[in-house]
Structure 1
Amino acid sequence: MEMDNRSVRLNKKSNLLKLDEYMYPLVDTDKPNVFRNLFPYEEVPKIAFNDRIVPHEMPEDIWITDTTFRDGQQSRTPYSTDQIVHIYDAFHRLGGPKGIIRQCEFFLYSKKDRDAVYKCMEKGYKFPEITSWIRASKKDFELVKEIGLKETGILVSCSDYHIFYKMKMTRKQAMEHYLGVVRECLETGISPRCHLEDITRSDIYGFVIPFCLELMKLKDEYGIPVKIRACDTMGYGVNFPGAVIPRSVPGIIYGLKEHAGVPSELLEWHGHNDFYKAVNNSTTAWLYGASAVNSALFGIGERTGNTPLEAMVFEYAQLRGTLDGMDTTVITELAEYYEKEIGYHIPERTPFVGKNFNVTRAGIHADGLLKNEEIYNIFDTDKLLNRPVLVAVSNTSGLAGIAHWINTYYRLKGDKAVDKKSPLVAEVKKWVDQEYETGRVTAITDGELEKVIKESSKKLNVNLIP
């Protein structure tokens, strides 16, 4: 009878005895496994279940990393050096004294990008730490070292779609190539961050786990951290308990931690929003053991975009019960900077940053909000985002609703605030009533109100509005 030599050890987190798992050797194959049963290209991808449940295991420390200057720049007009420095400065203030915004990654190829890196380094901030993303070459590793960075991202695509169809290699050839590249990086004293591209279409136990086991050996050999970034490149990840890998985010994170031995602090999730799941999947990665989630400001990134950084700030606060010193008003500053200085239009209904994200339009909702804003506002948006709640003006607004709109839109407080007895409010209401008497059914836009208020102020010879 065969002997089972796996060791039994005490798990210090659960305080239960656990049997060591079998090692997972590379499964080399002549033909790619593209999981055609889950990804029939001419049909909608399928979400299958096997009801294998893995435990929640949120790390003691979790944080946010940023790819605004890397993935974010791949999908829009490149930022200028000054714009990059301004945004980096804002990330430092947003992340607070604990540096919850832990890292920003940069391109290094153009002079403009390198100038931005040098100017950001001159700030002397501990957080966000400046890291890079490079091609996997000795020349580029030396560039990282010359600039003085401690860490760089390296692309190590892990699905058979990439290994067989793009790189024209076998799994064994790809692994040997990747390990050689990572070793070259470690030889220069740089910490590699391995971007496992397309992990949600990869053979997790036939390639990803064996590959990461080898990466952890290199980490131990060189005494230099080797990070694993699990990249949901196509947004196929799902957070449902019991879903099958490779689409299961809990299953991927559990496998990397428990079977590949990747510690939480070296494990990061990078999501895309192709199926509207970027935020949920990122939060799920935290819940199941990844310390870091990678994001981009306003979700700007390849195709449908990355996980929005501002969303993860509020996910962090909801999970931890505290903002841990993060200054969320910076989010509004950044939204205004993008609109006014960069010329990027944020869709009006975008959570936290869109022009109308906390604007109430329905008449019955507006009535409730005027009585108590907690009824229809998600939290104190004035305090946390410097965005007072607004009530759109319609035929049901009345004098009080119009006065509220003017005060909140123009931020009039104290003696400068108007009330429903104000001649200006009466003049605006007269115009609003006339609009609806002639058959209008839609809410009044901000632009229309601004124009009417300006004309009415001139007519009444008042200067209440800044």
Structure 2
Amino acid sequence: MEDRKVFMNQHTNLLELEEHMYPLVDVKTPNVFRNLFRYDEIPKIAFNDRIVPHHMPDEIWITDTTFRDGQQSRAPYTTEQIVTIFDYLHRLGGPKGKIRQSEFFLYSKKDRDAVYKCLEKGYAFPEVTSWIRASKKDFQLVKDIGLKETGVLVSCSDYHIFYKLKKTRREAMEHYLSVIRDCLEIGVRPRCHLEDITRSDIYGFVIPFCVELMKLMEEYKIPVKVRVCDTMGYGVNFPGAVIPRSIPGIIYGLMTHAGVPSELIEFHGHNDFYKAVNNSTTAWLYGASGVNCSLFGIGERTGNTPLEAMVFEYAQLKGTLDGMDTRVITELAEYYEEEIGYHIPSGTPFVGKNFNVTKAGIHADGMLKSEEIYNIFDTEKFLNRPARVSVSNTSGAAGIAYWINAFYKLPKERQVDKNSALVSQVKDWVDKEYEDGRVTVLTDEELVEKISSICEHLHITL
């Protein structure tokens, strides 16, 4: 121990002992962590209470995979739809470019056409990047199009190395390194997608592999990015959980033992166990500068980390939106519903039609007195979505008036009050519905139909 170097950590201002090197452990049989991942049992979350420190980077950002992973579970977007959504992402990211990059497939003419049109926009952010197969032909395609970075799949669990690739760890590492070298040879920045990292041997394969990646980066003087892919959603954010499921442990290992700097670490989560958002936030807290997301979480199986969720996570962690225009989130939701035909579940945070709608009668009464009581923040300011109440037998004329003004987004000079003829007739209808035995709240569709009928009868327009 005396021979190991002592150095000053400039981030923590603490003297630290140089870590041991971690060579590749080239096992003969795959380590698939059967103690944690027995296929005939629910996966286990184990603890050893080894705690790693928070290490929030100086700067954090969001990257987008809407046109890559987000297209793997739905009908492909048209070229025009991709370009329109890209414009929205540019506006949402704001002048500081907090949505740093967006990745694209390059396989079809439609995808390549979209790439060219997005490049023509001339935006600094999001930067257009690609995702390709690990081949020289595809690398050259990236180069010819003019992209500066591409994602490369480097599966890292023994499930993939032994069962899918039919290789040993050493064979897999040598293959991956040769592929990355091919990418670097033509001057393209590689983004190494460490697929299935939360079932991989972190110190027997991932850390040694990333050490070699950093050596290539030093040799070629070109950044090599590492994407931490929680492909199956097994990652957990609990302090003291054991690797490979511990997101804090993985991020700490990459930084401390493999020497990967924060700005080159990006987390990509899946939501199989409802942990995508928490794991993404945790990756930020423990040292990853980037989190990779898709709009509305659309992606393989249960989906990816929702991009809009991380916009609000960013604001909560940093105390500022740093110029991000969150009103664009509502425009995107409307575009998906009306133009693309994608149905967003009504209870989805920030974008579902009922996310800020109060339904309980006693809660509605509180909303009428002060919307802060039951609204998470000023949703009208940040999302162009005023707080609303549902109409029931407890709403009263004031509640009905509040619903009409909010739903129809009436300007102040055109708003109705509880004494208006329209509100009075709607209330009479509502009262009769419940007198006849109704017990559920009235739906928006029912109210719109009735209000339209009354407006026609009264010769008024909302």
TM (norm. structure 1) is 0.99
Alignment match, 1:358: 356
- SS of the residue corresponding to residue 64 of structure 1 reads strand
- 1:202 maps to 200
Q: For each residue in 1:67-115, what CA deviation from the matched residue of structure 2 results, as whole angstroms up to 9, or x when unmatched?
A: 0000000010000000000000000000000000000000001000000
User: What SS class does the counterpart of residue 206 from structure 2 fall into?
Assistant: helix
Structure 2 CA distance for aligned equivalents of residues 14 and 323 of structure 1: 26
CA distance in 1, matches of 2:283, 2:133: 26
Q: Deviations over 1:164-218 (max 9, x none)?
A: 0000000000000000000000001000000000000000000000000000000
Question: Quick one: distance in 1 between partners of 2:15 and 2:347?
Answer: 50
Structure 1 residue runs of 5 or longer lacking an equivalent are none
Question: Do structure 1's residue 240 and structure 2's residue 247 form an aligned pair?
Answer: no
The correspondence for 1:324, drawn from 316, 322, 325, is 322
**Segment drifting more, 5-14 vs 416-425:** 5-14
Specify the SS of the correspondent of 1:418.
coil
Instruction: Tell me by how many angstroms 1:415 deviates.
Output: 2.1
Q: Which of 174, 185, 188 pairs up with 1:187?
A: 185
Counterpart of 2:428? 430
In the alignment, the residues of structure 1 paired with residue 121 and residue 290 of structure 2 have an alpha-carbon distance, to the nearest angstrom, of: 24
- Aligned counterpart, 1:150: 148
Name 1:10's counterpart in structure 2: 8
- Residue identity in the other structure for 1:51: D
Shift of 1:5: 2.7
Letter in 2 for 1:296: S
Select the residue among 386, 389, 393 that pairs with 1:388.
386
Secondary structure class of the residue paired with 2:331: helix
Aligned ranges for residues 245-394 of structure 1 at < 5 Å? 245-394=243-392
How many angstroms apart in 2 are the aligned matches of 1:414 and 1:293? 41
Alignment of 1:117-196 (within 5 A): 117-196=115-194
**Post-superposition offset of 1:233:** 0.1
* 2:32 corresponding residue in structure 1: 34
> How many angstroms apart in 2 are the aligned matches of 1:192 and 1:257?
18
CA RMSD in angstroms, aligned pairs only: 0.6
* Number of aligned positions between the proteins: 462
> Which amino acid is the alignment partner of residue 457 of structure 1?
C
**Alignment deviations for residues 33-59 of structure 1 (CA, whole Å, 9 cap, x no partner):** 000000111111000000000000100
Instruction: Tell me, in whole angstroms, the C-alpha distance in 2 between the residues paired with 1:293 and 1:461.
Output: 53
Determine if the alignment matches structure 1 residue 413 to structure 2 residue 442: no
Cα distance between partner residues in 1 of 2:15 and 2:322: 35
Q: Please, which moves more after superposition, 405-414 or 265-274?
A: 405-414
Where do 1:57-96 residues align within 5 Å?
A: 57-96=55-94
Residue 4 of structure 1, CA deviation:
4.6
Question: Percent identity over the alignment?
Answer: 77
The residue aligned with 1:19 is 17
Q: How far 1:6 moved relative to its partner?
A: 1.8
Give me the whole-angstrom Cα distance separating, in 2, the residues matched to 1:462 and 1:262: 65
Q: Partner of 1:400: helix, strand, or coil?
A: helix
One-letter identity of the residue aligned with 2:233: G
SS in structure 2 at match of 1:311: helix
Aligned residue number for residue 47 of structure 1? 45
CA distance in 2, matches of 1:4, 1:168: 42
Deviation at 1:461?
A: 2.0
Matches of 1:41 and 1:416, distance apart in 2 = 61
Mapped partners of 1:269, 1:370: distance in 2 = 42
TM-score by length of 2: 0.99
Moved over 2 A (4+): none
Q: Given residue 30 of structure 2, which amino acid in structure 1 is its aligned partner?
A: P
**Corresponding residue SS for 1:109:** coil
Quick one: which amino acid aligns to residue 190 of structure 1? V
- 2:396 corresponds to which residue? 398
Separation in 2, partners of 1:415, 1:96 = 32
Paired with 1:100 and 1:387, the residues of 2 have a C-alpha distance of 23
Q: 1:442 aligns with which of 440, 443, 461?
A: 440
Following the alignment from structure 1 to structure 2, what is the Cα–Cα distance between the partners of residues 414 and 370?
A: 16
Deviation at 1:437?
0.5
Any idea what SS the aligned residue of 2:302 has? coil
Q: Which amino acid aligns with 1:316?
A: Y
Corresponding letter in the other structure for 2:277:
V
Structure 2 unpaired stretches of 5+: none
User: In the alignment, which residue of structure 1 is the partner of 2:100?
Assistant: 102
Matched to 2:231, the amino acid is T
Aligned-partner Cα distance in 2 for 1:326–1:198: 31
| Aligned mates of 1:404, 1:434 — CA distance in 2 | 20
How far apart are 1:16 and its partner, in Å? 1.8
**Cα distance in 1 between the residues matched to 2:408 and 2:37:** 51
The separation in 1 between residues aligned to 2:435 and 2:12, in whole angstroms, is 69
